[in-house]
Amino acid sequence: MNGFIDPEIFGGGNTLEAAQTTVPVLKAFRARKLPIVFSRIVYADDGFDAGVWCEKAPRLRELTESNPASQVIDILKPVDSEIVIRKTQPSAFFDTNLGSLLRNQNVDAVAVVGATTSGCVRATVVDAISANFRPTVISDCVGDRASGPHEANLFDMQQKYANLIASNELDSIFA
């Protein structure tokens, strides 16, 4: 999302570089006609669905349907056949239909990219494995505001929750 590559909102660190590295990865998934799902944080204009997460990070309430910060960045813009999940929590699985959409397409493994490594990426990975999906994090396609949380969370996810690969190792997950 635009807000997570903008250092004035939620971005900074390596988030823009991670998004740029995702461009050829997205192209490879599209070429193989694999299911692609984007997630956006979207709250109601009046904030009625803003929960405890927004108490901790009040600027999240600004991420409404029409706010440019809540839109998928242009270089990764979804195409017609791709699904966009709207969420109000860090995990793309929590309180969304993502799990059922993936199971309906006989998906049993997910590749996770995005921002932030220590937030939404990690929460999605933990929920993915909890729902018996096999997560792979494409390590140079995830970003965070600072290198410390980014590296620590990559280490921890690899130890307990996910396989980690770099984008230049993508062929290993297509085999």
Query: pLDDT for 27-63, tens place per residue?
Result: 999 999 999 999 999 999 999 999 999 999 999 999 9
- What number of residues does the chain have? 175
Q: Which residues are catalytic?
A: 120
Best CATH choice for the domain 2-168 from the list 3.40.50.850, 3.40.640.10, 3.30.460.10, 2.30.30.30: 3.40.50.850
Share of the chain above pLDDT 90, in %: 95
Query: For the chain, which residues make up each domain, given as ranges?
Result: 2-168
Q: What is the mean pLDDT of residues 123-145?
A: 98
Q: Enumerate residues 6+ apart whose C-beta is below 8 A from 133.
A: 99, 102, 107, 108, 109, 110
Give pLDDT, residue 174.
78
Residue 165 pLDDT more than 80? yes
